[in-house]
Amino acid sequence: MKFKVSLKELNQALQKVSPALQKKSPLPILEHFYFILEGDLLKIIASDQKITIMYQIVVEPNEDGKVLVPGKRIMDIIRALEDSEEFTFSSDEDTFNISIRTAYGKYSMKGLDPVEFLDLPELFQSEKPDITKLLDNLNEEARKNAALISMKDITWASERTYFCAAKDDFKLAMTGVFFQFVGDKLNLVATDGFRLTKATIFADGHNVFPKDLGVIVPAETVELLRKVDDDVLISFIRSEDEITHIRFDVGNTVIISRRIAETYPKYENVIPTDNPYKLKLNKKDIIPALRRVALFASSFHKLIKFQISAEAMILTGQDEDQGTQAQETVPCEFNNENFEIGFNYELFLEAIENMEVDGDNEIAFIEMSGPTKPVVFRPSENDERLLMLVMPMRI
């Protein structure tokens, strides 16, 4: 294998693929990038066995070939050569020794035989969906197994959901984000048992969804979708009519993620519909005040008490062991008097900070039915595009 490429382009390609590269692994191949050169197209692949990422760039070719390249070492040398423009890469097809030439000098490293790399049929045997068929309203077959989502919508929904997934593998279904295609909308739902978030994307002239389909995507994959720089084509890879993997095509990037083969909890049952108490807050008032009071609350329990009246709300945090206490008053609009409730301040802050749909939403609406019942957060009153649920704490 031999090719020339701009250092900037190669660095960008490796940055796209590196989230799937393992830093330390009992399988040394997982610490390597898989380089495949065919003509002027260089494919760079990394996999941690849960997520596989491939990125393609056009290079100046000399000789086709394949090799496994040490991930950390190639990225380190590229960072150290940031001012060099030309980068010539070559590898020996028998020994897999790698040679790099730049304006500064020559560098060599040991590669691995590409036959040792993972067998990835979900990548090499799947194809990018035909977008023209997907956009054809009459082609129902194409729409059964694929979706098209705008960059703006998928980054927004992913940002609002990935952090709510459970970290404990004991609740395997809840470690992912539920992609629920229902009619003309897509719900992204995540919960860890203490809070829940649901972001809804609607089908329009650009977004295209299958009619009814549900799949749990690992939170790590959804975290990658927060940063995509193009529209996303989603397709579902099946084995014996069972979805095993999800493929995301984003420009020159392909992300293959395993599906979490579990049944997602009936989340609709925990969202309260009768919430007589309505609270309206300005985010610029509540966020800094809550952060200040949290400094004096117990770092273990993380409890802050909210005493709410018609026009003001008193925040109280204390740590009896440390002898600290803080209290602040913030303005609000509330349709009742003398209501008390307690929250984990971290969960409350995350909910308030993520109450955003159309740019910078300054207001957050909170609906409550009692001091021990789930509390609903919305960016605006009766807004169905974004909903977060937080369980209160006993005072």
Q: Nearest to residue 206, comparing CAs of 148, 251, 155, 154?
A: 148
Whole-angstrom Cα distance, residue 55 to residue 163?
Answer: 26
| Nearest C-alpha neighbor of 52 from the set 25, 30, 69 | 30
Q: Do residues 165 and 177 make contact, with C-beta atoms less than 8 angstroms apart? A: yes
Residues 6 or more apart from 125 whose CB is under 8 A from it?
none
Across 62-70, average pLDDT:
96
Q: Which two tokens stand for residue 296?
A: 């004096």
Model confidence, pTM? 0.93
Cβ–Cβ under 8 Å, residues 292 and 325: no
Q: How far is 352 from 332, CA to CA, in rounded Å?
A: 14
pLDDT for residue 24: 87
Give residue 192's pLDDT: 95
For residue 208, the 8-state DSSP code is: B
Q: Residue 138: pLDDT band by 50, 70, 90 thresholds?
A: low
Higher pLDDT, 206 or 156: 156
The pLDDT-based confidence of 32 (bands split at 50, 70, 90) is very high
What's the rounded mean pLDDT across residues 149-170? 94
For residue 196, the model assigns a pLDDT of 97
Return the CA Rg of the chain.
Answer: 25
Q: What is the helix (H) or strand (E) element at residue 12, kind and residue range?
A: helix 7-17
Domains in the chain and their CATH numbers? 2-118 (3.10.150.10), 129-268 (3.10.150.10), 271-390 (3.10.150.10)
pLDDT of residue 333: 96
Question: Binning pLDDT at 50, 70 and 90, where does residue 395 land?
Answer: confident
Q: 212 is written with which tokens?
A: 């009814």
Tell me what the mean pLDDT of segment 19-46 comes to. Answer: 95
The tokens of 305 are what?
């008490």
29 token code pair: 């191949």
Phi, psi of 349 (to 5 degrees): -60, -45
The string of DSSP letters for 108-143 reads EEE-B-GGGSPP-HHHHT-----HHHHH-TT-HHHH
User: Predicted confidence band at 136 (pLDDT cuts at 50, 70, 90)?
Assistant: confident
Quick: pLDDT tens for 359-385. Answer: 667 999 999 999 999 999 999 888 889
pLDDT of residue 81: 87
Q: Cα-Cα-Cα-Cα dihedral of 122, 247, 251, 21, to 10°?
A: -70
Task: State the Cα–Cα distance between residues 78 and 31, nearest whole angstrom.
Answer: 17
The string of pLDDT tens digits covering residues 223-245 is 999 999 999 999 999 998 899 99
* Tokens of residue 165, six digits: 């997934």
Residue 231's pLDDT is what?
A: 96
Nearest to 390 by CA among 338, 353, 337: 353
Question: Is 229 strand, coil or helix?
Answer: coil
